Structures are given as C-alpha cells and as structure tokens.
Structure 1
Amino acid sequence: MSELKAKTLHMGPAQCAVDLGDGSERGEYVNQDYILQKLGRPHRAINLMYCYYPNDEGWPGRASVVHADPSVQFAWDFPYDDYFTYKGGLNGTLDDEPFTCMRDVRRHGQDVLLTMTIDPKVSDEHLVAIAKDLRTFGRVQLRINHEATGNWFSFNKRASYEEVAAFFKHASEIIRKEAPNVKTIICLDGCKELEDEKMEMEDIFAEASRAADIVSVDRYMALHWGWPYDVAEEGGTTFARHAVSKIYQLAKNSYERYTYVNNGVKKPMVLSEFNSDGDVTGPYDQASMLKEFCEMLKKDDEKWLSGFTMYQFRDRGRLGLEIEDPNNKDVGIEQPLMDTYREIIHDDFFSPSMETGSDVELPAKLRWGGSEDADGVAIDLHFDSNPVFCEAYFDDDNVDMNLMIELNGHWFYKAPGVKCVDMMSAFFKKPLDGAKDMTLKIFAPPASGENDETQGDDWQTNYYTELKSLPQIRIRFAPIVK
C-alpha cells in the first residue's frame, strides 16, 4: 500500500441520462445492491410507481388484493390503480413504502423519480402532506398522473381532462411552494401519428405543461397491453409493434410541440417509460430495437432528449431486463436485453460527465447535490499490468462513510461499517492489456438516504460529508503464492 493523493472531482449530467424503473403493477421492487452488481453503474434516477387514493374503500391495500375479482380482464379495471400504495400523505407514515425504497435509491447515489397517480378530488391538505414527505429526499422528480390523456387510470375516470389538467397545475404550485427541491413532470401521450400537427389534447393541457418543470411522453416500440389476460398471437388485437424510426420521430415531434406550448422555452424532455415488449418482438428483436433507438439519439445533432427511463428492471411479463421467475419472485431470469442495455449505459454518451480539479487537502468537504451535481475526490492509481488483487481498505476515520466508488468504468457501493471493497470485478470484463494509469473516483451520498436540515440553508438540495482520510489501496499483479 502506498501513500495516495487526491484531486477535486465534479460529476455533472450526461449528454442523455438513463433512469430505471424498479417495480410497478407488473413486478416487485428489487434492491439497489443487486441492480448495481448486475449493471455495474448507478442510474441518474430510479422510477418508483405508486398510487394515492386515500378516501377509497380498502385503502391502503393493493387494489388487486383488496378488490380481487375473477371477472377482471384488464390491468386497470380495479376501483383504483393497481400500483403499490403510497403510505405517506395526510395521517400517513414515513416508515413504509415508498420511503424505504427511496432511502435505498439515494444511499446508492441515485435520485428519486416518483410516479404517482393521485385522486384529483383530494383536498389541498393531502398535497401539502405529500410535499412535506418529500422535503428531505434531495432533488426528487415527481411525475403526477402520467399518460394523462388516456382513459385507463382511475383519475381519468373520476374527472374530466380539463379537471385532470387543472389538478396537475394546482398540485405543481403546491409542491413547488412546500418542497422546492421537487420538480414536477407532465406526461401526455404527445404526437400519436407522424402527420399530427399538434399533440393529443394539447390545448387542454397547455397550462399544465407550462406549470411543469420537465415534459415527457411514454413510448413503447412494441407493447402487449392485454397482458396478463391473454397471449399475444398473430391476428390478435391487444398488442402492437412500430418502426423504431417512427417512435423516435414521434417523441421528437412531441418535444417540439411542448416547446411551442411553452412559448419557446426548451424544458428538459424525457421518455418516462421506454422499451419494446418481448411478448411481441421476442427477446432478440427487443434488444436490437433498443440499440437502434439509442444509436439514433447519439447521431442526432439536436440533442433534444435529456433522458429516458428503461421500463423496467424485473418484470413478470417481458418488459424487463429480467423476467421474474414464476417459481420464486425473488429470482430474476436475465434476458438478452440486459447485455445490450449494459453496453448502452456504459457508453460515454449516456454516462455522467466527470471533471477533475485542484489538489485536495484533508479533511475535505464532499458535497452530494444529486446524481447530476456532486463533488467528490479523484485518486490517481498506476497499474503495471492487469491486477490479480485490487482492494480499498477503510480505517476508523472513514469506515462509517457511505460511498459510491468508480474504477475502470465499474461502480461499487460501500455501506457504513464496511472495511474493505473488493474492486476486482472492474477488470473481469475489461482486463488491462498492459501498464495503465487510472483514476479512482469517490462520492458520498447521504448514508440515511435523506438530507439533513441542520446542514445549512441549501440542505434540501445538498448534503455534505467530511472526508478525513483516503482509503488504502492494495494492488497486486500476481498470486500471493504460486
């Protein structure tokens, strides 16, 4: 082990960010340690999908459980949406979902992207309570009543489109006042055909679009919406597949219409749900369609898309990087899409930017503003050849730190109390072919998953940690005993 020196390091946004859906009506939440080990890097944000219908009979039970009915033949034919139920809100608790998941997400260096369908008839007291729930979770993105121009969610069955639009605008105003760390996302169906001159219900949702911080559409290049009540077979009517180029252009056209509606203001545009359904395409075309779309993004000089959310990590159908094992919901069956997606998210285009600066004097203050704005440290390392051992050891000064660590493009999580991080997996798929200088990158997201209101005026968007000492790095280039 040799003495190390460090420089300041800033992490900024990618040219196009990648977010990941984790759990929905189609799959369970998968912990972030497992996902990180499978994919080798954190995401900008993790999308968690919940519903809030607090005045309904059976609440807060899951709709498909408390309202189970064998006659149901469509995923959204329950009295309220069959997402996980939001246990916070008015008279709620922060000790249950989604907050347990949100803490897991943030500990692992990712932002929270919370999708919520909300009863548009709830009082302002409910909205204020939701906003207060989110105040400690950093730079949250909140997608309220998504796919708002559809007719399947309960909020569309309880209110007119004009009322849904007005509710989004009103909710955004309350959220912005009570929790300025939260940005709201409007999600419409956008342009549905290439010849469309306007988005669907563009005028009705114009004020709602202007009230949003981020604009979005959901886009599936193929989808079996009849799942799980039928099987997609030739001649069926509950599924569709589209050309990748068409889906790309429709999304881009929607961005341009959003910009028009917002009086020329180019708000960040995201695809809040994005994939091809393997029920329709099979596993191989599913992967190739994703790759084709991402290659189009990289070649487009306009750089109109700020990010997309892969729907989702593990799915009971075929919309996941893994399929949930029907024999054991805790087991995932990896699909060919996983390798393709892993390759995409490790591309520089989809990776956060990194900028090193001046030498660091210890102790140093590290800042976690979020996955697109954080200050850490960079440590220069020299490798004579491909290592046989590569480990980071943490002493009493830093063993209790919560850290995200990157080496050779591979990310590792160090939980508080962990004394050694084995970094050899960074070289299993990317071995060195000779001597090389490399940089070890270290960031410190909040160990609790929440920001600390005692840290200063900017506590809602920034979390600070003191780095007292650097880890000791053990690198060996041959077996200890031959």
Structure 2
Amino acid sequence: MDKNTKIFSVILGRARCAVDLGDGSERGEYVNQDYILNKLGRPHRGINLMYCYYPLDKGFPERASKAFSGEGISFQWDYPYDDYFTYKGGLEGDTKGEPFTYIRDVRRHGQDVILTLTIDPHVTDEQLIAIAKDLHPFGRLQLRINHEATGNWFAFNRRCTYQEVADFYVRFHKIIKQYAPNIKTILCIGGIEDLQSKQIVKEAEFSEAVRVTDIWSVDKYMALHWGWPYDVAEKGGNSHYRKSVSEIYQMTKRSYERFKELCNGEEKPMVTSELNADGDVTGAYEQAEMVKEFYNIVKNEPATWFSGITFYQFRDRGRLGLEIEDPNCSDVGIEQPVLKTYKQIIHDDYFSPSTEIKKEVNLPVTLRWGGSEDSEGLAVPLHFEKNPVYCEVTFSEPYNLMLELNGRWFYKSPHAKTIDLMPAFYEKPLSGSAELTLKIFAPPATGENDPAQGKDWAENYYTTLTSIPDIRIRFEPVEPAK
C-alpha cells in the first residue's frame, strides 16, 4: 500500500429492513459462519440460535430426543421438554459450551445474536439472573423468550396457563433489564391470525407483555408441514397448510398495528422471527417464488414499520432451509432454488446495511464495534483500471476484521494473514475502470465485549489499528499466454 494512501472513517448503519437468519433448531444442525458467509456473500444483521432451558426436568441437560429416545414419540413436540439444543449455562453450568461457542462465532463474524430460549416458567429468579449474567458480555444481543407463546405445542404451554406464560415473560424481561440492560427482549406471539379479528390471539393475557417488551414479533409461514418428520405431506392430509403471501403479509401488518394500539400509539421495532414457505407443501420452485414475493411486498410498499425479517433457516433436514442436509452426511448441504433467490434479496439495497464515509483519519485509529447496525470502521479508496486478475490484502497484525469490497464481504480471523478478495469480482466483474472502496470493521475477536474497556463496554468494543493492509492488485496474469 502506498504510504500516501488516504483513509477515512466509515459508519455502518441500519438497513431499511434488516435481514436475519436462523441457524440450527430441532430440524437442523448449526452451520459455521464462515461457510454461510462464503455461500451468501454478506453477513446478516443477526443470527437466530434456538435453545431450551428446563433444568428442573429429569434428563436435562441432555437433548430431549436423546434422553427419551425409543419412548414411542409420534410428534415433534411430544417430548417432556422441547427438543432444542440445551442451554448449558445458568446456575447449573458455565459458558464454555453451547450456545456460547456459537454465540462467539456469530459475533466474531460481525453479526448480532438472536437467542431463542424456551424456558420452564417454574425456574427461580436466581436461575434467570444467572442467564442474564451469562449473556451480559455478548453486546447487543436480542433474547426471544418462550416464542410462539400463544400456541399449544411447547412444554411451557402444557405446564402453565397462558396468563402464567405471559407473567413469566414480564418477570424475565425485568430481570434482563436489571442485570443485562444491553440486551433487548423479543415477544413472539400469534398476533392477528384471522383478518376478520380486531384483537391479537390471547390479547387479555399478553397485553402487559406487549407493553413491556423491547421488540414485537410474530412467526409466519406461508406454507407449513407441521407433521414433519412423522408423516409425509400429501393431498387430503391434515398436517399441513398453505396460505397466500398477501394474507400472511396482511396478518403481520395488522399484528403490528394492534400491538401499537395496545401501547397507546407507541412504536416499537416489529420483526418476523421465522418466515418461510415449506417446500414439503409447495415444492422447491414455488417456495422460492413465495419467499421472493413476500420480500418484494415489504420493499415495494415500502413497509417502513417493518424492522427485520428472519428467514427460517439456513440448513434443514426437511424442506425449510436454503439447503437441505444431505442424509448421507450431516456436514454437507444440498442447495435449494430458494438459496439463489434469497441471495439476490439480501444483496438488494433495501435489505442491505447503510454505510456512510466520513472524515479523513490518520493511523493509529481506534475502531468501535457497537453491532451490525451501529459501528465505526475504515474506508480505503482504491482505483481499478479494469477488472482485476489478482486482488488480495495482507495484514501484518493479528486483527479480527470484516471486510467489504464491491458488495462482497470477507472475514479475516486473527490468525489469517492474506485474504483473497477476487470473489468480489466473480459475480460482479468490472466492465471498465472503477473507483471502489475497501471497508474495514473490527468486531471482537473472542466474540465477547471487554469490561476493561470503559463504562460503555457492554454496548461497544474497541480495536486500535496501527497499520492498514498491503493491497496487491494486478490486471494481467503473472505470465501472459504464449
């Protein structure tokens, strides 16, 4: 890099509507963020991880499907407690195992964590306080507590009345605010499930939870085979449904409007925490079409009230994933048509984070990582004579960084030295000369914020750069053709 190269500060901000992604559940295993980033070409605002906490139960913390295998289970939610991966922290555990290994992976890669946690409402305040303290170091985490709480399939709903479930939500929310105020809570309930209704499902029970929560949410599937994996969806069956994309969108919008009315006009962020059309019902091609239609409605309206959409999920053992898990090898994913469609959606400007280049700066410079919607990085202007043959960056320091060039994002771990940036041009080659900007951000290398960094440590993480990378750009092969 020329020593006279100018560098500028750059602000990473919100998308008009953020895109989040589910990664792992009762239906699929966690897929590492390096694979997902390289497959999709950009990080998400947040990654949703799904876990359960039933420490008072026999068998816990073993996963329910293992603890109770061979006991005549005939439906996904027939286990004594929910068949999610189990939360290994709290009073009974530590933060060395799940979900913390994956939380750290998500945050290292410049994304916020959305932790979905189903919990036995009978746990003590001390146990909930321990969870809050577990999660405190992980920045601007979002906690989705006992989601789909107006349903009847989760263990917490079978053990308690709806009022008790709602009261538990309020109790845990208040504990989070006291012990980990950097965390935002997500209330995920049925909302409007009938367009003729003027009230949300179980409105009397959940009105207080609607008022105290930080974020409102509904889960909406345009098609779903809920009998998976214990039966096959066929015509005439009673374990699946399909609705129109427009109907699902209108129910989501009406849910937001009713939430707002219950809060006397106060506006809060509104998200869908799970969205998809089940390929078991629609087939792979119409699944992609329905997903595209929903995101297009949001964009074209434009739905300024909509804060974010979580696609469920990256890899699935059924047909609810961008990939299907290979039945011969669980580490391998089989790409579905919806993956290409989804990749196009998330690279649209409407669903992409904003970046704003600010003033010129000099080294050394301290970068601030607040989260995927609020961070300060570096911008390095680059001139390209034409489409490059080689483009790579080499670092002399063990920084943990996220890099963006020509719309393509890259991860640089502390042990990596050289990152090949040529994939930024494989799908978007330059047609002539161009001025591009290399953007550099520095999320925490450990995935955790550092209490030693100051009063705002829970919200922000700081990295001081004393050097910028050497950038090698060439426009011809090393040896020309003979």
Q: Tell me the equivalent position of 1:474.
A: 472
Question: Deviation of residue 153 (structure 1)?
Answer: 0.2
Equivalent residues in 2 for 1:50-199, closer than 5 Å: 50-199=51-200
Q: What is the rounded CA distance, in whole Å, between the counterparts of 1:419 and 1:125 in structure 2?
A: 45
Aligned to 2:244: 243
The match for 2:423 is 425
1:302 Cα deviation (Å)?
Answer: 4.4
Q: Distance in 2 between matches of 1:69 and 1:75?
A: 13
Q: Which amino acid aligns with 2:452?
A: T
- Residue 452 of structure 2 aligns to a residue whose secondary structure is coil
Counterpart of 2:209? Answer: 208
Q: Distance in 2 between matches of 1:357 and 1:392?
A: 23
In structure 1, what is the equivalent of residue 272 of structure 2? 271
Query: How many Å separate the matches in 2 of 1:90 and 1:209?
Result: 29
Output the CA distance in 2 between the equivalents of 1:275 and 1:79.
Answer: 27
Distance 1:70 1:203 in 2: 37
Query: For residues 247 and 304 of structure 1, what CA distance do their matches in structure 2 show?
Result: 16
Map Cα deviations across residues 189-246 of structure 1 (whole Å, 9 max, x no partner). Answer: 1111111111111121000111100000000000000000011111111001110000
441, 452, 466: which one aligns with 2:450: 452
1:464 alignment counterpart: 462
Identity of aligned residues (%): 63
Write the letter of the residue equivalent to 1:463.
Y
Of the candidates 414, 417, 428, which is equivalent to residue 416 of structure 1? 414
SS in 2 for 1:42: coil
Give the secondary structure class of the aligned counterpart of 2:453: coil
Tell whether 2:344 aligns with 1:339: no
CA distance in 1, matches of 2:128, 2:70: 31
- Give the C-alpha shift of residue 339 in structure 1: 0.3
Moved over 2 A (4+): 1-4
- Displacement of 1:2 in angstroms is 3.0
Instruction: Give the equivalent residue in structure 1 for 2:363.
Output: 362
> Separation in 1 of the partners of 2:49 and 2:283?
26
Letter of the 2:158 partner, please give it. Answer: K
Alpha-carbon separation, structure 2, partners of 1:280 and 1:417:
45
Q: State the Cα distance separating 1:70 from its structure 2 match.
A: 4.9
Where structure 2 has 5 or more consecutive residues not aligned to the other structure, the ranges are none
Counterpart among 395, 399, 409 of residue 401 in structure 1: 399
Query: Matched residue of 2:19: which SS?
Result: strand
Structure 1 residue 91 displacement after superposition: 2.5
Superposition TM-score, scaled by structure 1 size: 0.99
Q: CA deviation at 1:434?
A: 0.4
Equivalent in the alignment of 1:443 = 441
Could you say which residue in structure 2 is the equivalent of 1:2? 2
CA shift, 1:362, in A, is: 0.6
Q: Which residue identity is paired with 2:188?
A: C
Partner of 2:255: 254
Task: Say which SS state the counterpart of residue 204 (structure 2) adopts.
Answer: coil
- Give distance in 1, aligned partners of 2:263 and 2:443: 34
Alpha-carbon distance between aligned partners in 2 of 1:5 and 1:275, rounded to the nearest angstrom: 45
Structure 1 distance, partners of 2:104, 2:118, is: 21
**In 1, distance between residues paired with 2:203 and 2:7?**
52
Q: Deviations over 1:28-77 (max 9, x none)?
A: 00000000000000000000000000010011000011011352111000
- Aligned residue pairs total 479
Find the residue that maps to 1:51 and give its secondary structure. strand
Shift of 1:356: 0.6
Aligned residue number for residue 234 of structure 2: 233
- Matched residues in 1 for 2:93 and 2:72: separation? 32
Structure 1 partner of 2:30 = 29
CA–CA separation in structure 2 for the residues paired with 1:287 and 1:20: 16
Rounded to whole Å, the distance in 1 between the matches of 2:452 and 2:302 is 44
- CA displacement, residues 286-310 of structure 1 (integer Å, 9 cap, x when unaligned): 0010111111101114411100111
Q: Distance in 2 between matches of 1:202 and 1:433?
A: 57
Equivalence for 1:323: 324
Deviations 1:60-118 (A, max 9, x none): 00001101135211100000000000000113111000000000000000001000000
One-letter amino acid of the structure 2 residue matched with residue 349 of structure 1 = Y
* C-alpha RMSD of matched pairs (Å): 0.7
Cα displacement (A) at 1:438: 0.4
- Partner of 1:240, secondary structure, is strand
Cα distance in 2 for residues equivalent to 1:255 and 1:341: 24
Gaps of 5+ in 1: none
Q: What amino acid is aligned across from residue 471 of structure 1 in structure 2?
A: P
Secondary structure (helix, strand or coil) at the match of 1:103 reads: helix
Structure 2 distance, partners of 1:14, 1:262, is 25
Q: TM-score, normalised by structure 2?
A: 0.99
1:91 and 1:62 map into 2 onto residues whose CA distance is: 16
Measured in 2, the distance between the counterparts of 1:191 and 1:302 equals 17
